Amino acid sequence: MRLRVGLSILACAGSALAQVASTFIDPDTGIPFMGITDPVHRVSYGIVLPPLATSGSNPTEFIASITSPIAGQWVGLALGGAMLQNLLLVAWPNGNSVVHSTRIAATYDQPTPYAGPVITDLQHTMVNATHWKWVFRCQNCTNWGTGSLPVSGGGVLAWAYSSAPVTTPSNPNSDFLEHTDFGFFGISYADAHASQADYDNWAAGGTGGGSGTPTSQPPTTPTSQPTVSATPYDYIVVGAGPGGLVTADRLSETGKKVLLLERGGPSTWETGGRYQPDWLAGQPYTKFDVPGLFESMFSDGNQFWWCRDINVFAGCLLGGGSTINGGLYWYPPDSDFSVASGWPSSWANHAPYTQKMKTRLPSTDHSSMDGIRYLPQSFNVAKRLLDPQGYRQLTINDEPNQKDHVYGYSSFFFQGGKRTGPTGTYFKTAKARPNFTYRDYTFVNSIIRNGTKILGVQTNDTSLGPDGFIPVTPNGRVILSGGSFGSPRLLFSAGIGPTDMLTIAQGDSVVGPKMPPQAQWINLPVGENVQDNPSINLVFTHPDIDAYENWADIMSDPRPADAAQYISSQSGVFASSSPRMNFWRAYGGSDGKTRWMQGTVRPGAASVTSSNPYNASQIFTITTYLSTGITSKGRIGIDVALRPRVLVEPWFTDPIDKAVLLQGINDIVASVGNVSGLTLITPDNTTTISSYVNNYGTGNMNSNHWIGANRLGSSASNSVVDPNAKVFGTDNLFVVDASIIPSMPMGNPQGAIMATAEQAVAKIIALAGGP
Ligand SMILES: Cc1cc2nc3c(=O)[nH]c(=O)nc-3n(C[C@H](O)[C@H](O)[C@H](O)COP(=O)(O)OP(=O)(O)OC[C@H]3O[C@@H](n4cnc5c(N)ncnc54)[C@H](O)[C@@H]3O)c2cc1C
Ligand SMILES: *[C@@H]1O[C@H](CO)[C@@H](O)[C@H](O)[C@H]1NC(C)=O
Ligand SMILES: *[C@@H]1O[C@H](CO)[C@@H](O)[C@H](O)[C@H]1NC(C)=O
Ligand SMILES: *[C@@H]1O[C@H](CO)[C@@H](O)[C@H](O)[C@H]1NC(C)=O
Ligand SMILES: *[C@@H]1O[C@H](CO)[C@@H](O)[C@H](O)[C@H]1NC(C)=O
Ligand SMILES: *[C@@H]1O[C@H](CO)[C@@H](O)[C@H](O)[C@H]1NC(C)=O
Ligand SMILES: *[C@@H]1O[C@H](CO)[C@@H](O)[C@H](O)[C@H]1NC(C)=O
Ligand SMILES: *[C@@H]1O[C@H](CO)[C@@H](O)[C@H](O)[C@H]1NC(C)=O
Ligand SMILES: *[C@@H]1O[C@H](CO)[C@@H](O)[C@H](O)[C@H]1NC(C)=O
């Protein structure tokens, strides 16, 4: 589900493929900084700290530098490794000088100026013909109330880069548009402390290093590994999200040797995860078990669960997106697997596969263990809004084909008051089988291909095989379930995809040498045909609403009765995530096509823009999305650092999609006057709905529901995998995840993805020539 502004994030930390800072000597100042040079934009970031205190509190300052090519119109560092609630240090060139600004953001909107830090520009801050450079001392900068710099340990720094100038370059408080790119790097602050004498010299404007420069991290020399002989597997599945978990479980059911590889770590308590708020200390529940902690995925100070190299939200831990998402779960209507939706006719009899999924993981629309629906107010208010428009109420998953003028309670994959999902079901049964092996914290760099045959996978873990290579058995198969961003990158590594992407991969020092020769490249539309629901938020107030403090305190200071109730009986507000109602309506477009609008109603709001006063305790949101029938498409690829990126945004590239969603929003808003006390506050009454929709930033329409990048179909001319989910032109390479779905499902996609995996894995098992 979409709850937060998508591309505007600087989300996370975490154990993922990413750059790690090392010490470099700045050529202008001679200061040995700990930092990185981003390989795409060629911006260097560096930091050096004074010595740690031998007694008492540590110094609260550091010296840092940003050196950017002139194309960087504004560049910033987020000290806590995330955009929200962290000190942001931003700078840009203005003529011959560099303007800087300290900011903080409470929402994914324009960060506001933040007083407190004392910034002194140091020598060599400058603008020349090709670059600009900001070297500065930052005092009172290691603690900003809502976070702090772990000066004696390790952390993550986030960077942001924009190719668009700020509105008023001379003004430090100028507005600026959302960054055009961002990324993260891991940093060991413990290794970034200079001697006091050197630090004092630099802080006073001196240059050059003397003795006692920071202990530079010795380059990680590969320690000679004992020769390991790798175990070959019948099936290797890459990625433990919803697609990979269903696939690996069903494959392991056959008794074959199955290996499941996941780049991230454990999540729920049962899988060894231990990350929990203080109020759950001593309880067997992590943040990923408690559904009601969902909203804190975006505001927590330690967001290690996001994929650090992907600049939209994607979960990189056991369970993938299903561990960090809203938990909305829809049994697919027949249209989700119809020929009209782009599936081959061999997929149309989908009901048995949906049935298999329901048997393993039934949905619930009352996930609290006592059966009570808590925080019901937004449902009741929205009902009064929709009833005058001819909507009727039903139990949504009892009648999946009814998707016009209907609403019902939100439905989830939670069980026993816990998140559960595919991790607590499919993974659990797979894990118990002797021929199933799971390895986490294992990153698959490359898929190794010789002609039409996949030989195995190249990982970053040399304990798993010589040089990290893990082979498949003679008839063995590899299945990619890395998600809509992860799987395209893996295909590129195998020399499969558009030539422009393969050329980038070939240039990479790790992946390039393992790629098949150019003569064996397979040109398939990997990364094309991408769709995501365009979504637009409407924010309202109503006196009946309990906005639940906009979920701001759920980690650190929950309502005591609700916390106690969850602990004692897995009941109450924390037994569900935030959504309360979903609704659908069908619309005919001017091109004769039918498109469906979905709505999700929840207390709280990601952001409010209003020129009138409003009561924040009474806010709720209706997110409107366009689903089945949308025609807009985009493209996913990689940048030169092989980081997955959105190359072409998929929202509203067809103006008819926009016209239909605008109509849907107008219809909802038309009944506001029928509900006494109901006020639309975003957009407010100074903004028309059409100007709101027209000015809605496309990046903010991201619903995180990406599909289509490795479309399943009958022809290699427009599809990547065939009706058996096998990659065209290969003998034994398959993709099973969101990326093979050819067009937008009716609802939030996880149910459709898992049901897709049920059918795909059945076809893979049945396909001759396997292990
Ligand atoms: C914030 C957010 C909220 C959402 N809310 C909902 C919702 O309420 N309902 C709903 O239906 N959908 C929701 N979604 C979408 C849903 O979570 C995704 O569509 C779904 O998780 C995709 O499943 P997948 O198996 O294709 O890939 P993913 O879930 O992305 O899983 C891919 C896995 O592969 C691993 N991986 C990738 N590359 C490699 C590699 N090279 N080596 C090793 N491992 C690798 C990743 O770490 C990850 O665990 C939400 C998504 C987000 C981000
Ligand atoms: C492999 O990569 C994963 C994910 O980035 C990381 O957590 C792990 O530590 C790496 N393993 C090795 C042996 O470097
Ligand atoms: C340090 O910054 C904080 C805000 O982060 C501010 O409240 C405080 O007054 C500042 N202290 C000094 C000494 O400037
Ligand atoms: C501008 O400054 C940068 C950073 O110090 C330096 O690398 C570059 O050579 C300079 N360019 C010119 C034209 O002097
Ligand atoms: C596990 O694999 C071995 C060898 O392939 C096989 O003999 C055995 O029957 C399998 N075990 C199960 C439980 O299927
Ligand atoms: C809703 O409000 C409109 C305009 O105020 C009114 O014409 C209409 O009759 C109302 N509908 C219902 C069902 O109350
Ligand atoms: C690659 O395939 C060719 C032709 O089938 C074969 O001769 C060669 O041995 C294979 N190489 C490897 C490393 O398997
Ligand atoms: C704001 O809403 C809350 C909850 O409904 C209410 O208790 C409070 O009095 C309201 N505040 C104002 C100023 O109206
Ligand atoms: C807009 O709404 C505010 C209260 O939210 C109200 O005070 C104002 O009169 C309204 N303006 C118009 C033009 O309706």
Q: Boundaries of CATH 3.50.50.60 in the chain?
A: 231-267+305-364+418-532+632-650+705-771
Distance of alpha carbon 168 from alpha carbon 743, whole angstroms: 42
Distance of alpha carbon 46 from alpha carbon 43, whole angstroms: 10
- With b for 16 or more beta-carbon neighbours within 10 A and e for fewer, the 20-53 pattern comes to ebbbbebebbbbbbbbbebeebebbbbbbbbbee
Provide the β-strand partners of residue 477: 235
Pick from 616, 620, 576, 585: nearest CA to 601: 620
- The predicted model gives 366-376 an average pLDDT of 98
- The predicted model gives 545-565 an average pLDDT of 97
The CATH class, in words, for 231-267+305-364+418-532+632-650+705-771 is alpha beta
Pairwise pLDDT comparison (409 vs 17), residue with the higher score: 409
Distance of alpha carbon 97 from alpha carbon 650, whole angstroms: 38
Residue closest via CA to ligand 7's atom 14 equals 450
Q: Boundaries of CATH 3.30.410.10 in the chain?
A: 368-410+534-626+652-701
Question: Does 8 have pLDDT greater than 60?
Answer: no
Query: How many CB atoms are closer than 10 A to CB 352?
Result: 10
Options 41, 124, 350, 705, the catalytic residue? 705
Question: Does 224 have pLDDT greater than 80?
Answer: no
pLDDT tens, residue by residue, 237-287: 999 999 999 999 999 999 999 999 999 999 999 999 999 999 999 999 999
Distance of alpha carbon 602 from alpha carbon 620, whole angstroms: 6
- The predicted model gives 226-244 an average pLDDT of 87
What's 767's DSSP letter?
A: S
What's 3's DSSP letter?
A: -
Q: Boundaries of CATH 2.60.40.1210 in the chain?
A: 5-203
Domain at 5-203, CATH from 3.40.250.10, 2.60.40.1180, 1.10.1060.10, 2.60.40.1210: 2.60.40.1210
Ligand 9 nearest atom to the CA of residue 679, by list position: 5
- Per the annotation, the verdict on 124 as an active-site residue is no
Distance of alpha carbon 662 from alpha carbon 654, whole angstroms: 13
Distance of alpha carbon 579 from alpha carbon 763, whole angstroms: 35
Ligand 7 nearest atom to the CA of residue 451, by list position: 2
Distance of alpha carbon 102 from alpha carbon 88, whole angstroms: 6
Residue closest via CA to ligand 6's atom 3 equals 674
Tell whether ligand 6 has an atom less than 6 A from the beta carbon of residue 674. Answer: yes
CA of 561 to the centre of ligand 8 (A): 21
Residue closest via CA to ligand 9's atom 14 equals 685
The set of residues, in sequence order, having a beta carbon less than 8 Å from that of 687 and lying 6+ positions away, is none
What's the angle, vertex CA 17, arms to CA 136 and CA 11, rounded to 5?
A: 60
CA of residue 299 relative to chain centroid, distance: 14
Percent of the chain with pLDDT over 70: 95
Cβ atoms of 282 and 201 within 8 Å: the answer is no
Percent of the chain with pLDDT over 90: 83
What's 168's DSSP letter?
A: -
Q: Which of 442, 467, 469 to mutate to test the pocket of ligand 2 (most atoms within 8 A of CB)?
A: 442
User: Is it true that the peptide bond before 683 is cis, omega within 30 degrees of 0?
Assistant: yes
Query: How many CB atoms are closer than 10 A to CB 230?
Result: 16
Tokens encoding 498: 């558009």
CATH superfamily to which 368-410+534-626+652-701 belongs: Cholesterol Oxidase; domain 2 (3.30.410.10)
Distance of alpha carbon 490 from alpha carbon 507, whole angstroms: 15
Q: What is the pTM of this model?
A: 0.84
